Chains A and B, each alone.
Chain A
Amino acid sequence: MNVESVYPKVREIIADVLVIDEDEVSLNSRLIADLGAESIDFLDLVFQLEKEFAIKIPRGQLEKNARGDLAEDQFEKGGVLTVDGMKALKNYLSEIPADQFKANMKVNEIPMLFTVETFCKLIVAAVSEKNARDTVV
């Protein structure tokens, strides 16, 4: 499973959740800025993705994935990303053009960056983690 293989289904679900035509959704569409997603849409989207791919996506998982090995206070201070935090975020969201990471970005602004590809990557990671767990069990 990879981004290309999950993309058609993710695209279909995003279009359905946002009540837009699939034609309007591309891999690099930003959910908030380009597709008009709001907070309730993210809740809905995560639930639909969990159902479709039989996975669990804990709340804030994308931010946790971005943080990687950094402790919380290494990642952000007072709600603003640290230099190391920004580096980790850029590294994790490698699909996002560099000019979209603004200086002194706040943690609650991170979702502004999310694209369709971000969610495809999240699905691929969650499915592979689940498969790994199932294999161990």
Chain B
Amino acid sequence: MRFLLVDRILELSPLQLVRGIKHITRDDHYLCNDEQGTLCFIPSFIGEAIGQLAAWNVMLCNDFRLRPVAGVVSSACLHRPAYIGDTLLIEAVIDDVDDVAVRYHGVASVGDEVVFSIESALGPLLPMTEFIAIDEVRRQFSEINRPGAWPPVASAGELLQNGNEPLPYLLVFDRIIASDPGVSLCAEKRINRAASYFPDHFPHKPVLPMTVLLECKLNLAREFLARAQFSQHYQVSELRKIKMNEFIYPGDLVVTTVQVKRHDADELILSFRSEVEGKRVCVLDVVMTAKGN
């Protein structure tokens, strides 16, 4: 399955702005269930689509010599899931770029409604050929670079239901290795080369997409909540202070610890730290707000 999440680039102002779309249909592989059990596009992958769109702009402007990789994201807000039948209108704004790193922010909307936003993402730029052949990435760009207008806000007509819904794609840790309900949780995930995102991420150097790890952590946050049995119900609203320090490779064993950073009636902040062989590879805070607030 492809891990190229932008269907079409509609507008590109070099090193300034890029707009594109992603249709969410039953052809999508990366679907999961929302809290009500309805199929939706994997939420972290909306952020991935914004990041990929920003990357197309930067890569075009450096003649595909360098590519951004995941680094630091100050804040990513999940406003609502995006469902089958939705078209994501994606926009990324390049705030700053040089030969070392790019800083951007972006937003994904369905019609006029923002569903996901990223504030201040910082991505180091690394030599393209470490990851993929330059001709190949050029070809991928030319396939999707078809300037045009934004699509209409919403299509009229009822979405067909044929009774054969696609199966959800599970992005989860393999096992819980320690649990202190309501206090901490520790889980591990073995990184399998057979995972469907590796061929595109990347052909010359398969590394775990940061957004795959983020989605696993969101699901681990739900596991934490289920075990904690808090009287208040919480829902994820924001991923904050995300940082990917090191690449994670197939064959690695990722150990992630979750701890409560802050907990009151309105808000629960969980702090995540992932390590490979005892070395920090990724940290972030997951901010959850009390339902009904």
With contacts A19-B273, A19-B280, A19-B283 taken as known, whether A41 is within 8 angstroms of B98 at the C-beta atoms is no
Cα-based distance from A98 to B243 in the complex (angstroms): 34
Main SS at interface, chain B: strand
Identify which of A16, A43, A59 contacts B122 (C-beta below 8 A): A43
**A59 B98 Cβ-Cβ under 8 A:** yes
- Considering only residues 12-44 of chain A, those with a C-beta below 8 Å from chain B are 16, 19, 36, 38-41, 43-44
Number of interface residues of B (CB under 8 A): 17
Shortest distance between the CB of A42 and any CB in chain B (Å): 10
- Say yes or no for A53: interface residue by CB 8 A criterion: no
**Taking CB as reference atom, which chain B residue is nearest A47?**
B122
Q: Range of interface residues on chain A?
A: 10 to 19
Asked if B245 is at the interface of the complex by the 8 Å CB criterion, the answer is yes
Whose C-beta in chain A lies nearest to the C-beta of B71?
A40
**Residue pair B103, A40 in contact (C-beta under 8 Å):** no
Whether the pair A43, B98 counts as a contact (CB closer than 8 A) is no
**Are the CB atoms of A41 and B122 closer together than 8 Å?**
no
Tell which of B98, B100, B243, B280 touches A44, judged by Cβ atoms closer than 8 Å.
Answer: B243
Is B244 in contact with chain A by the CB < 8 A criterion? yes
Interface membership of B72, Cβ < 8 A: yes
Question: B100 touches which one: A16, A36, A38, A43 (CB < 8 A)?
Answer: A43
The answer to whether A40 touches B244, judged by C-beta atoms less than 8 angstroms apart, is yes
The 20 listed contacts between A and B (C-beta, < 8 Å) are A16-B241, A19-B243, A19-B280, A36-B280, A38-B246, A40-B71, A40-B72, A40-B124, A40-B243, A41-B243, A43-B71, A43-B100, A43-B101, A43-B122, A43-B124, A44-B71, A44-B72, A44-B243, A47-B103, A47-B120
